[in-house]
Amino acid sequence: MVHEEELVAQIKDWVRSSPQATIPAKTVLTEETDLIASGILDSMGFIELLVFVESVTGQKIDLSGLDPGEFTSIQGLSRSIVNGSSKSA
């Protein structure tokens, strides 16, 4: 079972290194930054982030019942995954 802090760190590393992510000038990447609204990821890039999260957690993503606004930040996504929204693959 992955811990929230650990997942936050892994996602942050992925966003910083992935070619799919671009941090626009004047944008500071924090755990609360909305990855879509800030332009760091487009929707396809976000899907690729979910694929990455599945690979590190071994869990199938299940974000049903949530609105994207609740999980498009690093903190929000990590919390949604760790708090059991997702199921074992």
Partner 1 sequence: MTELLKPQPQVGHPLIHGFVRSVRRFPSRTALEVGGASFTYESLGQIAGDIAATILDADPGANPLVAILAHRSLTAYAGVLGAHSAGKGYVPLKPKLPVERLSKMLIQSGSECVIVGEEALSILQGLLDTATKPLTILLPDAVDAGKFTVACPRHRFIAASKKLNPMPMPAAQDVDPDAVSHLLFTSGSTGDPKGVPVSQQNVTSYVSHVCERYGVRETDRFSQMFDMTFDLSVHDLFVCWERGACLCVVPEKSVMAPAKFIKDHELTMWFSVPSVIGFMAKMGMLKPGIFSSLRVSLFCGEPLPAAYAEAWQEAAPDSVIENLYGPTETTIAITGYRWDPIASPSACINGIVPIGWVFDHQDTCVIDQERNPVPTGERGELCLSGAQVTRGYWNNPARTAEQFIRLPASNGDDRVWYRTGDLVKQDESGCLYYLGRLDHQVKIRGYRVELQEIDFVLRKVSETEQVASVAWPVRNGIAEGVVAFICGACENNRPRILAHCRDVLPEYMVPRQLYFLDDWPLNSNGKTDRKKLVNLLETQGS
The binder of partner 1 chosen from 10, 36, 52, 79 (CB under 8 A): 36
Please state the closest distance from residue 9 (CB atom) to partner 1, in A: 22
**DSSP labels for 41-67?**
S-HHHHHHHHHHHHHHH-EE---TT--
The binder of partner 1 chosen from 46, 57, 74, 82 (CB under 8 A): 46
Nearest to partner 1 of 5, 16 (CB atom)? 16
Please state the closest distance from residue 89 (CB atom) to partner 1, in A: 11
Q: Is the dihedral of CA 1, 62, 43, 30 positive or negative?
A: negative
DSSP 26: T
Question: Could you tell me where the beta strands, DSSP code E, fall in 2-86?
Answer: 59-60
The residues that touch partner 1, with contacts defined as CB under 8 A, are: 19-20, 22, 24, 34, 36-37, 39, 42-47, 50, 60-69, 72, 86-87
